[in-house]
Homo-oligomer: A and B are copies of this chain.
Amino acid sequence: MSEYIKVAVDAMGGDNAPREIVKGAVEAVNESNKVKVYLVGVKEAVEKELSGHTYPKEQIEVVHASEIIETAEPPVMAIRKKKDSSLVRALNLVKDGTCDAYVSAGSTGATLVGGQVIVGRIKGVERPPLAPLIPTATGCSLLIDCGANVDARPSHLVQFAKMGSVYMENVMGIRNPKVGIVNIGAEEEKGNALVKETFPLLKNCPDINFIGSVEARDIPAGAADVVVCEAFTGNVILKTYEGVGATLLSKVKEGMMTSLRSKIGALLVKPALKQTLKAFDLEQYGGAPMLGLKGLVVKTHGSSKSIEIKNSILQCITFTEQRISEKIRQMLQSDGIVSGEQ
């Protein structure tokens, strides 16, 4: 029992809570016997959902929390006031060592604040980034940072590059991951003040495979495995991805419905097309990890269905087994020595 990877799940967070969250937890424990889920939320509601499912009872535990933090609430205040919310209770399970990881589809702001304030940063981490995986033509890349803290400093970006490399190498299995910094041209002298200051620091960083600037145009083609930028830029990239994808696909559908001929064609291409486009779906990768914390905090999309919750929970297994937080700690420590030697 003590060998389970233990994941605290905010059962009340997200547009489809608690139904899809509970369903996702059930699917996760039915798929893997390595994980135990602590479903945190209003006990009655959670147990009612659970009662409709079959699953190994020892792998799910319900933890009562009477309050719920809404998406629109100011994060800092919500964390401070609602001590008995599912979000705060679940994060506390990670803090006190009961759980290894936390998953929520609830308020991004409250999760980011709670991650820092409750779970706490690894010593030496200046700013824990939120780093979603984004689909590319060849697989996926880590877009780091997409968090809520903007106006980063160069030293933050260097840490993002290192933490992102650890993640891609150990969780995604990409050897010597390529690290690029988002820029508006390929040349070193291009960019805004932040990029220009950060570029030489990354270039002289011995622990990472820095390939230089990456233009936003080349990100979807898979130009870098770890795409480093400050959070404002990261959010803009992530959301342009979502927006262009959604609009373009609706245009494709619209185009297929314009004539009888094309409607027949649409029926024929549909299955194959669905299959291919699935590989370019932002949501298939589960949640975005918040890196640099003492435990794992994963934020999934607010509209997550059970499949994303399941994937997010299962993702915690690799993260914990690979001791990512420990590896990040080591990298930042060794870094202190390395920069002393330079």
Contacts and interface: CB of A to CB of B under 8 A. Distances in A.
A251 B137 contact: yes
Interface in A198-234: 215-221, 231-233
A236 B261 contact: no
Contact of A217 (B184, B232, B242, B269): B242
A51 interface: no
Nearest to A250: B137
Number of this chain's copies in the assembly equals 2
Contacts of A244: 220, 240-241, 244-245, 248
Interface of A: 136-137, 148, 150-151, 182, 184, 191-193, 195, 215-221, 231-233, 235-252, 254-256, 258-259, 261-262, 264-277, 279-280
A256 B240 contact: no
Nearest to A195: B232
Nearest to A108: B185
A20 to B, nearest CB: 22
A184 B235 contact: yes
Given A218-B243, A236-B216, A243-B220, A192 B151 contact: yes
A49 to B, nearest CB: 30
Contacts of A232: 184, 191-192, 195, 233
A119 B267 CA distance: 55
Contacts of A275: 255, 258
Nearest to A280: B251
Contacts of A261: 268-269, 271-272
Contacts of A245: 244, 248
A279 B215 CA distance: 25
Nearest to A264: B268
Contact of A262 (B193, B238, B256, B271): B271
Given A240-B244, A256-B272, 20 more contacts: A136-B247, A137-B247, A137-B250, A137-B251, A184-B231, A192-B232, A216-B240, A216-B243, A218-B243, A219-B240, A233-B236, A240-B240, A251-B279, A254-B276, A255-B269, A255-B273, A256-B269, A261-B272, A262-B268, A268-B268
